């Protein structure tokens, strides 16, 4: 049974266009944001967490096939034509794997707001890749792929097809829009605070401080062990330095736990001081870091509860976390998946159908039921199935059960027999040593009170009998 796509008909969130090497060269040379935002992905865990979550969710998904009917409405195709199955096999037989293409496409689209879907033939096999703006470039009418930021790219095979998929900027439609654009100042400030805090913690002078020893603890005779500078070191200073260094080199040794013994005048011990130059971590800086993180999380294309799942800024629990993730899948990740599969429709499906002579308009879209985040979705599916709102195949798909596990006709009859309490059906085509008719004579249900005998009812009387208080 065909069904109408429930969320959209033609509402893609991305623009898709085939590009040439000169187009890519023009885009990468005129754009000021090429590769700009990936440093925040590398250095800010909050950004990385959201970007990777988007990639993982899309990698878990799969496609569905739709066909336009005579009324111009796209409808789900239950039984895809063999030619469309062949086109899908081309996609999934790519050496890199469709899961990796989906993951990288979603990550690039989230960070840069665009991705280059690239297809070429290598050793007779179609290779599909999602390349970032930092990877792909065009030169001398050929496409090149950088293996690293510091190397010259390798030339892609002749006949390489590239589709640019991007979210149009509201000001300049040729420019890609990304949520990170409005967060640059906050992310730069947060990175500056993180670097300052890390430098302060790692500073040897600030952490270790200075040990002040009064001169009365030293002796006049110089040390016999030179330090290489030409100046003598007194024995007390040398002993303390050696003891502290030994404790650092061998922290598990018994000597590391022993105190350093020093002798001197009675009042000299009180003059030994440990002077620390460490500044206390400013509470205002920590509050500013928290505020910046919150601003960044609020600006991402994801629910704030998702972005701060590992922090205490937004409270989540096992009751609402899966619901929030499902919301993110429906409204953030699934539209990115539609853009990916529309690009694959134009790159693979349409040319393949023309080649095989299949009539009609077909397209791929992401299957929103292919990603099941366990919350109350299972219960909703069971209720819908019990009320005959969905069929067997739809229920299995929503519950994540493959069609290969569907019951056979005999198993279906037995399940109906168990539900109806009919032994002849429950044990259908089973080789039993007991007659199902005997099983049907066994009563089931709660234990009845009394001895279980069926006694005839008392004959009703129309007048009081002996023992009745009304009889005198």
Q: How does pLDDT run across 404-424, given as a tens digit for each residue?
A: 888 888 888 888 888 887 877
Element (H, E) at 92: helix 82-92
Query: Does residue 451 register a pLDDT over 60?
Result: no
Q: Label residue 329 by pLDDT band (50, 70, 90).
A: confident
pLDDT of 169 higher than 50: yes
Mean pLDDT of 288-317: 70
Tokens of 57: 């969710």
Burial class (CB in 10 A: 0-12, 13-18, 19+), 88: buried
Question: What are the tens digits of pLDDT across the range 103-120?
Answer: 999 999 999 999 999 999
Tell me, yes or no, if the pTM score tops 0.85: no
Asked if pLDDT for residue 8 goes beyond 50, the answer is no
Paired residues of 19 in beta bridges: 162
pLDDT score of 470 = 60
| Helix H or strand E segment including 439 | helix 436-440
The number of CA neighbours under 13 Å toward the Cβ of 83 is 16
What is the per-residue pLDDT for 182? 92
pLDDT digits (tens, 9 = 90+) for 377-406: 677 788 888 888 888 888 888 777 888 888
Q: How far is CA 346 from CA 52, 80, 164, in A?
A: 27, 18, 12
Rounded average pLDDT over 46-73: 91
Distance CA 266, CA 237 (A): 19
Other Cβ atoms closer than 10 A to 161? 18
Q: How far apart are CA 176 and CA 168, in angstroms?
A: 5
Identify the sign of the CA torsion 418, 387, 319, 321.
positive
Beta carbons within 10 angstroms of residue 255's beta carbon: 9
CB 46 within 8 A of CB 110: no
Model confidence pLDDT, tens digit, residues 186-233: 999 999 998 888 877 766 555 566 777 777 765 444 555 555 665 666
User: Please, what is the Cα angle at 165 between 12 and 299, to 5 degrees?
Assistant: 75
* Rounded (10°) CA dihedral 314, 320, 325, 328: -70
* pLDDT for position 313: 43
**Left, alpha or beta for 408 (phi > 0: left; psi -120 to 50: alpha)?**
beta
Q: Give 270 or 94, the one with higher predicted confidence.
A: 94
Residues 6+ apart with CB under 8 A from 79: none
| DSSP assignment string, 71-84 | TS-EEE-SS--HHH
Of 58, 72, 98, 133, the C-alpha closest to 335 is: 58
User: Which alpha helices (DSSP H) does 7-80 contain, by range?
Assistant: 21-30, 38-43, 45-59
Identify the pLDDT of residue 7: 43
Q: How far apart are CA 278 and CA 188, in angstroms?
A: 25
């Amino acid at each position: 049974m065909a069904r109408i796509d429930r969320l959209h008909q033609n509402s893609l969130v991305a623009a898709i266009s085939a590009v040439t090497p000169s187009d890519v060269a023009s885009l990468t040379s005129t754009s000021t944001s090429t590769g700009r935002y990936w440093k925040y992905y590398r250095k800010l865990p909050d950004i990385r967490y959201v970007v990777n979550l988007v990639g993982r969710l899309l990698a878990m998904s799969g496609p569905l096939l739709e066909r336009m009917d005579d009324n111009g409405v796209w409808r789900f195709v239950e039984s895809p034509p063999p030619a469309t199955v062949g086109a899908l096999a081309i996609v999934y037989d790519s050496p890199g794997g469709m899961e990796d293409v989906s993951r990288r496409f979603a990550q690039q689209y989230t960070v840069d707001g665009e991705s280059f879907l690239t297809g070429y033939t290598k050793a007779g096999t179609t290779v599909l890749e999602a390349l970032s703006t930092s990877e792909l470039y065009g030169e001398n009418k050929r496409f090149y792929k950088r293996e690293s930021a510091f190397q010259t790219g390798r030339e892609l095979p002749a006949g390489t097809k590239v589709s640019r998929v991007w979210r149009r900027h509201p000001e300049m439609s040729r420019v890609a829009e990304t949520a990170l654009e409005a967060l640059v100042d906050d992310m730069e400030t947060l990175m500056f605070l993180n670097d300052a805090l890390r430098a302060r913690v790692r500073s040897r002078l600030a952490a270790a401080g200075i040990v002040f020893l009064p001169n009365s603890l030293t002796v006049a005779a110089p040390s016999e062990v030179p330090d290489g500078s030409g100046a003598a070191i007194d024995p007390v200073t040398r002993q303390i330095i050696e003891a502290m260094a030994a404790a650092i080199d061998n922290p598990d040794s018994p000597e590391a736990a022993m105190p350093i013994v020093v002798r001197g005048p009675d009042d000299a011990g009180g003059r030994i001081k440990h002077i620390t130059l460490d500044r206390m971590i400013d509470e205002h800086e920590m509050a500013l870091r928290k505020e910046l993180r919150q601003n960044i999380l609020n600006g991402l294309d994801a629910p704030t509860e998702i972005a701060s799942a590992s922090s205490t800024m937004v409270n989540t629990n096992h009751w609402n976390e899966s619901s929030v993730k499902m919301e993110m899948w429906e409204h953030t990740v699934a539209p990115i998946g539609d853009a990916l599969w529309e690009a694959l429709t134009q790159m693979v499906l349409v040319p393949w159908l023309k080649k095989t002579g299949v009539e009609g308009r077909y397209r791929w879209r992401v299957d929103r039921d292919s990603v099941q985040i366990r919350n109350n979705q299972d219960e909703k599916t069971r209720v819908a199935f019990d009320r005959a709102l969905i069929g067997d195949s739809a229920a299995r798909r929503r519950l994540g059960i493959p069609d290969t596990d569907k019951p056979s006709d005999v198993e279906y009859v037995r399940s109906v027999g168990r539900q109806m309490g009919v032994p002849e059906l429950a044990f259908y085509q089973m080789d039993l040593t007991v007659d199902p008719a005997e099983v049907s004579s066994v009563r089931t249900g709660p234990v009845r009170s009394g001895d279980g005998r069926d006694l005839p009812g008392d004959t009703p009387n129309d007048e009081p009998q002996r023992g009745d208080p009304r009889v005198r």
